[in-house]
Chain A
């Protein structure tokens, strides 16, 4: 059992008021709030050990380098990677995905196929489209059903020896659906395709086990899992990271430079050109420790209760429809009310202190599928409460009255 009041006390931002009302923060899918321990760690880094890493022989540089590499090790353990050098620090999921698509530009040939899913965030669509334009490969899309679940028979039918990469999110940002990624990975591997999993929405809720999943790449962001913004991780299997060319040239990523030829550094440094977000990288480790102390089993159990409660309470509202009604779901409820634009509801409940996301959630193909301009998305974290859900339901009802 989680002591939610004690957990809430860890997050200073949660105690403030917005528009004169106590803040109800249900936009966790966009970014999570940060516990004091994470904020303190960021300050402590700059107060005590700030120095550039992997370069200096001086003490501070070594302290900073050690802290950075310890954090890499924490991430490695957290996702159960085989090697620490398979864990690359990035600025976020988008950066990780682009690093991979950039690498595949020298691998794909005209006629090759890339499979994405219809549930993707734009950041896991557009880089692949750009890759296909560059290489002459073709983009194929796994369709979904009315419940927001991927149609696996259709996916099976798309697979062939032409398939070179399959990419799908672990959890849909717009609907909260948890995708059957193990099935997708195994099937893709059976035809010799690589697989990238966009884990941005998964890591706040679960602990991915990349060896068990056997995915080739797993990208995620730190800021959605209580870490600082501008941090992220790209996990890549050693053999794939060795195969891909570097993404950016610069310092840190080289072994030897002459004007005739440069040889690249070993993993992970080959992909980490320039001075990284050192503080962020270190503090991401603090955030992961914080989450593991609470325990992902506890988080999942509690968040599932919030999801069930919110679903039940919201469905009491007349004319309310939930999108993404598949069985396997994270704590996200995406909904609309008949005849009312999501923007109108979002604007009014904001005035009542409720922070939700409205719009297309950077997933326009999903909105087109349902023929809607967008949805209202409430995404819950382990620090949210049933009382807050009640407040949201009351606010939505009030908005509905005002708007109809």
Chain B
């Protein structure tokens, strides 16, 4: 599936909920599906800065795609990074670079994008895109 198709699928799933509690419960559930980062990759280098909770993210090249793994010490954050990984993992670097992130608004997580939230959603997206840019640049050389 393309990134856009996955994002639309996520939007569909979230549209079934009519209140925040169901949404949060679903985010917590999604956190349990997160492809976990290997313990040895839980380094300071892979720690995303600017979060109230800790988030580690690791990207690896598999064939022509990037596969992400992550973890967090907070459950909601784990769910949020799981949503991002579902959308962006196992995709080509160029597709990740060009993908938009509007679906975050549509699933009602817009509030997590504000600067005060400090849960690092913005930083997570940035780090995912940075991985893609780095792999893309490397492959072009």
> Interface on A for B, CB 8 Å cutoff?
19, 340-344, 347-348, 351, 358-359, 373-374, 402-403
Interface size on B, residues (CB 8 A): 15
What are 24 inter-chain pairs, A to B, with CB distance below 8 A? A340-B75, A341-B73, A341-B75, A341-B77, A343-B53, A343-B74, A343-B76, A343-B77, A344-B75, A344-B76, A344-B77, A347-B76, A348-B24, A348-B76, A351-B20, A351-B21, A351-B24, A358-B52, A359-B118, A373-B53, A374-B52, A402-B24, A402-B28, A403-B75
Q: Is B42 an interface residue (CB 8 A)?
A: no
Q: Is the CB of A373 within 8 A of B21?
A: no
Hey, what's the 0/1 contact readout for B29-67 against A, CB within 8 Å counting as 1? Answer: 000000000000000000000001110000000000000
Q: Is B25 an interface residue (CB 8 A)?
A: yes
Taking CB atoms, residues of chain B closer than 8 Å to A343 are: 52-53, 74, 76-77, 119
Q: How many whole Å from A278's CB to the nearest CB in chain B?
A: 29
Taking CB atoms, residues of chain B closer than 8 Å to A340 are: 75
> Interface on B for A, CB 8 Å cutoff?
20-21, 24-25, 28, 52-54, 73-77, 118-119
| Beyond known contacts A343-B53, A343-B119, A358-B52: 8 more, CB 8 A cutoff | A341-B75, A343-B76, A347-B119, A348-B76, A359-B52, A402-B21, A402-B28, A403-B28
Q: Is the CB of B21 within 8 A of A341?
A: no
Nearest B residue (CB) for A341: B74
Taking CB atoms, residues of chain B closer than 8 Å to A341 are: 53, 73-75, 77
Taking CB atoms, residues of chain B closer than 8 Å to A358 are: 52
Taking CB atoms, residues of chain B closer than 8 Å to A348 are: 24, 76
Taking CB atoms, residues of chain A closer than 8 Å to B25 are: 402
Taking CB atoms, residues of chain A closer than 8 Å to B53 are: 341, 343-344, 373
Taking CB atoms, residues of chain A closer than 8 Å to B73 are: 341, 373
Task: Give the distance in Å from the alpha carbon of A358 to the alpha carbon of B52 in the complex.
Answer: 8
Task: Give the distance in Å from the alpha carbon of A170 to the alpha carbon of B21 in the complex.
Answer: 40
Q: How many whole Å from B26's CB to the nearest CB in chain A?
A: 11
Taking CB atoms, residues of chain A closer than 8 Å to B76 are: 343-344, 347-348
Q: How many whole Å from B74's CB to the nearest CB in chain A?
A: 4
Nearest A residue (CB) for B74: A341
4 A-B pairs with the lowest CB-CB distances in the bound complex, closest first: A341-B74, A343-B52, A343-B74, A343-B53
Task: Give the distance in Å from the alpha carbon of A403 to the alpha carbon of B28 in the complex.
Answer: 7
Q: How many whole Å from B137's CB to the nearest CB in chain A?
A: 34
Nearest B residue (CB) for A350: B111
Q: How many whole Å from B53's CB to the nearest CB in chain A?
A: 5
Task: Give the distance in Å from the alpha carbon of A341 to the alpha carbon of B28 in the complex.
Answer: 13
Interface-centre pick from B21, B76, B118 (highest chain A CB count, 10 A): B76
Taking CB atoms, residues of chain B closer than 8 Å to A344 are: 53, 74-77
Nearest B residue (CB) for A351: B20
Nearest B residue (CB) for A404: B75
Task: Give the distance in Å from the alpha carbon of A402 to the alpha carbon of B119 in the complex.
Answer: 19
Q: How many whole Å from B80's CB to the nearest CB in chain A?
A: 10
Taking CB atoms, residues of chain A closer than 8 Å to B119 are: 343, 347
Task: Give the distance in Å from the alpha carbon of A347 to the alpha carbon of B112 in the complex.
Answer: 10
Task: Give the distance in Å from the alpha carbon of A344 to the alpha carbon of B52 in the complex.
Answer: 10
Q: How many whole Å from A356's CB to the nearest CB in chain B?
A: 13
Task: Give the distance in Å from the alpha carbon of A403 to the alpha carbon of B52 in the complex.
Answer: 17
Nearest B residue (CB) for A340: B75
Task: Give the distance in Å from the alpha carbon of A340 to the alpha carbon of B78 in the complex.
Answer: 12
